[in-house]
Structure 1
Amino acid sequence: MAVAISDIGKEVRSILYGAKDGVFQYDQKLSYSTRTADGVQLVLNAIRKDEKADLSLRTVYNYGNYGLNATFTTSDKVHVLASVDKIAPGVKVSLSATLPDKESGKLLVDYINQHVHLKTSVGMTTQPKVTLSAASGYKNMVFGGEVAYSTEKSAVSNYGLALGLHAGDSQLAVHLQDKLETLKFMAAHNVSKDKMLAAEITRPVAGGDVTFHLGIARRMENGALLKTKVDHKGTLSALYEQRLATGERFVLSTQLDTLNIGGKAPKVGFALDLA
């Protein structure tokens, strides 16, 4: 199946920022998940940040091609995502909203087949913002484009292009964003089956300050994940993640400003996921 444009360069983002695993966490987070007899998944999250604790309860229920995801927070907000998959061949329709915000509703439509992946998002307002992206590929190459249109201003508000290439153990991606004014180059390389390097470089097309992130990820023999990354500001981050045999996962992350070691205390955070 064709990939979405947001998946172009996802290997690099997974190393530098995390995806399902390897997410750098500089707060204190505790998660507990369980499943009811009716098949409803419940996930309770507690996060402590800057002397403040936040709680959230996420409920996930899937029945056939139907899905309902709702997250209740201590800020009196409810994030809801309802979806219907295969409403037509290759078509998935979703509706998302953050209650009670009446302006947050979005209608999402995905169409995917062997050759193309189309994504459409329409704001559920009187003057909605509409975004459309399309991606396709040929052999080991993927490419795509996206555009956003503001009905309030009756004008295109943003657009961009992306190109990705998989060559053996290497993955390359180039994104032209912000109306083609920002260039982002991304690269990942599998040094071995257990070690991967990644780099992300961003600069304005017309010239200006260059930003970069460099990272390395390694999977140990015991299954633990080690990650280290550094950016253009001299910020060094490290992560250790271990999944226990009983299903629990522990993540320890730290961040250090190498250019101001004596004047700025390092950040240390952890996350514990209880199955």
Structure 2
Amino acid sequence: MSKGTVLFSDIGKKAKDLLTRDYTYDQKLSISTTSESGVGITSSAVKKGGLYAFDVGSQYKYKNTLVDVKVDTDSNISTTFTVSEVLPSTKAIVALKFPDYNAGKVEVQYFHEHASFASVVALKQTPVVDLSATIGAHGVAFGAEAGFDTASGAFTKYNAGIGLTKPDYNASIILADKGDTLRASYVYHLDEKQKSSAVAEITRSFSTNVNTFTVGGAYAVDPQTTVKTRLNNSGKLGALLQHEVKPKSILTVSGEFDTKALDRTPKFGLALALKP
């Protein structure tokens, strides 16, 4: 598939991942294995409060097709088919969920050297249709997306944004929530491999006249250990330690507390992903 410009959903994603990815306040254990036939199997157990949830997933790749199936303790079955190069520079994704048939969707992504396009259609009688497009070159991308509800005949969303990607930094400005929210972010990479980075994000809500400012970053202590932090103007301080206990097996410890209300109980989470 050609290395075209990014999808609209990728604009600002680097900053979002630095500020939110891998932060968890539950206890989770997952074990992944791969059979000789190439089938990957992952079993997960999550404790939220005093309740446990379990799921088992399998993944199989054949030529340009990837099949992913997951079953959870509530008897929900989620199946995703991803087909690359179904047409030149095109990827098709079909997601199904049983017994909730209305949760299914079909997505088509098209990548060109200077443009990308994505369309998502829900698999129900009166579907919601999402369309997005991005154009760009030399690390600059302009994009927009819209959602249309065929039942009500109204737009569910329309957003626009611009992203700038360079070897040592990423920047983005997104106008979201039908023009009500303006979100700007900046990520600066402290090393060539982008293992250590600093990030700042500001969000402005025009209807509520509220500004939210968040700073954070990630620092690679050594090749196996990464520390992440984040702090917003509401006083919420989060920290995360991620360590590769052995190749492809990751231990993540994260926490968050309110610096303006130290009497509140901090949140803590632990996740262990094992891959024998």
TM-score bracket for the superposition, by shorter chain length:
over 0.9
Structure 1 residues 63-105: Cα deviation after superposition (integer angstroms, max 9, x where no partner): 0111211111001111111122211101222211221012111
Q: Which runs of 5+ in 2 are unaligned?
A: none
Question: Which of 6, 9, 15 does residue 9 from structure 2 map onto?
Answer: 6
Aligned pairs, how many?
Answer: 270
Instruction: Tell me the distance in 1 between the aligned counterparts of 2:207 and 2:274.
Output: 49
Instruction: Tell me the distance in 2 between the aligned counterparts of 1:66 and 1:231.
Output: 42
Letter in 2 for 1:140: G
In structure 2, the residue matched to 1:49 is 48
Instruction: Tell me the distance in 1 between the aligned counterparts of 2:175 and 2:248.
Output: 41
Instruction: Tell me the distance in 2 between the aligned counterparts of 1:178 and 1:151.
Output: 19
**Mean CA deviation greater in 176-185 or 203-212:** 203-212
Instruction: Tell me the distance in 1 between the aligned counterparts of 2:227 and 2:220.
Output: 6
Give 1:237-252 correspondences, 5 Å limit.
237-252=238-253
Letter in 1 for 2:162: L
Instruction: Tell me the distance in 2 between the aligned counterparts of 1:124 and 1:70.
Output: 18
Give 1:26-175 correspondences, 5 Å limit.
26-167=25-166, 169-175=168-174
Instruction: Tell me the distance in 1 between the aligned counterparts of 2:34 and 2:11.
Output: 33
Kindly, what percent of the aligned residue pairs are identical?
29
**Residue 169 (structure 1) shift:** 2.1
In structure 2, the residue matched to 1:266 is 266
Structure 1 residues 93-145: Cα deviation after superposition (integer angstroms, max 9, x where no partner): 22112210121111111111212111100111111100000112122311100
Give secondary structure in 2 for the equivalent of 1:24. Answer: coil
**Residue 206 (structure 1) shift:** 5.4
Instruction: Tell me the distance in 2 between the aligned counterparts of 1:246 and 1:96.
Output: 31
Instruction: Tell me the distance in 1 between the aligned counterparts of 2:139 and 2:107.
Output: 28
The alignment status of 1:25 with 2:24, answered yes or no, reads yes
Q: TM-score, with normalisation over the residues of structure 2?
A: 0.93
**Residue 155 (structure 1) shift:** 2.3
Give secondary structure in 2 for the equivalent of 1:127. Answer: coil
Structure 1 residues 187-216: Cα deviation after superposition (integer angstroms, max 9, x where no partner): 111234553111121112456011122112
Instruction: Tell me the distance in 2 between the aligned counterparts of 1:118 and 1:222.
Output: 36
Give secondary structure in 1 for the equivalent of 2:15. Answer: helix
Q: Which runs of 5+ in 1 are unaligned?
A: none
Structure 1 residues 13-65: Cα deviation after superposition (integer angstroms, max 9, x where no partner): 121012xxxx1121111110001121110011111110111101111111011
Q: TM-score, with normalisation over the residues of structure 1?
A: 0.93
Give secondary structure in 2 for the equivalent of 1:12. Answer: helix
Structure 1 residues 143-196: Cα deviation after superposition (integer angstroms, max 9, x where no partner): 100011111111222101010113552211000011122101111112345531
Contact 2:32–2:43 at 8 Å: present in 1 too?
A: yes
Instruction: Tell me the distance in 2 between the aligned counterparts of 1:94 and 1:166.
Output: 26
The alignment status of 1:15 with 2:15, answered yes or no, reads no
